Amino acid sequence: MTIGVFYASKYGTTKKAVKGLKRKLESNGYSVDVFNIMKEQPILEDRKRFELILIGGSIYMGKIQKEVTKFCQNNKEIILSNNLGLFLCCGSEDDFENQLTNNFSNEIVNHASTKGYFGYGYNLEKMNFVYRKIIKKVANISASESAINNESIELFAKSAIELIH
């Protein structure tokens, strides 16, 4: 049983969260193929390759990475014919549902049987000067911080596993 995890991570927070998700899924006996779609843009040609497709990214200035949007557009038919889960790293859990509906098509959001908020992180050292200034002001922070929600990742993994049983 193989699970496909497709994600984009600009500054590393989503990548860290996906590593935790992968460990949890593998510890339950699943084979997990992980694709950073900012480095490769895979095309899903085989409908039966994955029993479950998990897609996610991070929100910056209200938008998910364009690679996630492109991946969903290019693979929409196969995504909609598989079990699906969506996850996000974004600044506020209260805004999670709005971010999902603003960044994925209604069809994909409605098809997803599980959705997960994975927390957030601000890695100021990796940001350019302008973006760093904006984030410091908007998020009211003065230093990098990470708030990956491991409990939410674990609950998402459990919910995802239930989809294929």
The Cα 132–Cα 143 span in angstroms is: 10
Residue ranges covered by each domain of the chain: 2-119+148-163
Indicate the fold that domain 2-119+148-163 takes in CATH: Rossmann fold (3.40.50)
Q: Which pLDDT tens digits describe the chain residue by residue (165 residues)?
A: 799 999 999 888 999 999 999 999 999 999 999 999 999 878 788 777 899 999 999 998 889 999 999 999 999 999 999 999 999 999 888 999 999 999 999 999 999 999 999 999 888 888 888 878 877 887 887 887 888 999 999 999 999 999 887
The pTM of the full predicted model, rounded to 2 decimals, is 0.92
Burial class (CB in 10 A: 0-12, 13-18, 19+), 18: buried
Q: What per-residue confidence (pLDDT) applies to 21?
A: 98
